[in-house]
Amino acid sequence: LPKNITIEAKPYPYTFPLSSTALLLIDLQRDFILPSGFGDIQSGMNLAAVTAVVPNCVRILQAFRELELPIFHTREGHLPDLSDCPSSKLNRQASAPGTNHSKVIGDPGKLGRLLVRGEHGHDIVDECQPKLGEVVVDKPGKGAFWNTNLSEELVGWGITHLIVGGVTTECCVTTTVREANDRGFECCIIEECAAGYNDSFQAPSLNMIHWSQGLFGFVSSLPNLLKELA
């Protein structure tokens, strides 16, 4: 492969150096993807789209593993005593009368305590489990940079460019890309590898990323990427 790869993307082709590009997969956790997980419990969310990204994320993982490129996985979750959970996150679930969810972060669910580290539901789905040498970043927020060492890890690995997928598009994926962009990392989301709970949010969420000549980054497709990495 050449030193630089260029793939078709919006708003214009995305060029990334193979020597300093990582795959960043956001929160492919059972709690966000499987029935009876956090996402399913919170307002009966539609799991079809988040389920459908799993095989696509497996394909992108295979491509990066074959080329021995760095892979970073994130997981959203909290310490068992929830001391690292922002109060805003807890409050808006639980304390406003009439607006609370039936179960909140830390409550017991069929996959374990919701979004608590060490629980079955908090871990990554079987198909996308990290392999030895891949980095796992545990994050208390929606963005993967807040209160984590992700920035230092990426800099330490010499990473300047990211290929991004995961769940959910409207929440943790685009929050993370906005954070990454502010820190100088070039980002490209692969649209078949990112999904959320509200189908009507997918296109606007991705459009906001690449709007205005790439306000926050790029959006491309899985065939575009795999074709150039093959």
Catalytic site residues? 27, 139, 172
Q: Which is nearer to ligand TIU, 168 or 224 (CB)?
A: 168
Q: Which is nearer to ligand TIU, 71 or 104 (CB)?
A: 104
Phi, psi of 126 (to 5 degrees): -50, -45
Neighbours of 95 (CB within 10 A): 11
Instruction: Give min distance, CB of 21 to ligand TIU, in A.
Output: 23
- List of residues contacting ligand TIU (CB under 6 A): 27, 32, 76, 142, 167-168, 171-172, 196-197
Q: Which residues of 199-228 are buried (b: 16+ CB within 10 A; e: fewer)?
A: eebbeebbebbbeeebebbbbbbbebbeeb
Instruction: Give min distance, CB of 221 to ligand TIU, in A.
Output: 21
Instruction: Give min distance, CB of 23 to ligand TIU, in A.
Output: 17
Instruction: Give min distance, CB of 32 to ligand TIU, in A.
Output: 5
Give the Cα separation of 88 and 14 in Å (integer). 36
Q: Which is nearer to ligand TIU, 70 or 143 (CB)?
A: 143
Q: Which is nearer to ligand TIU, 7 or 124 (CB)?
A: 124
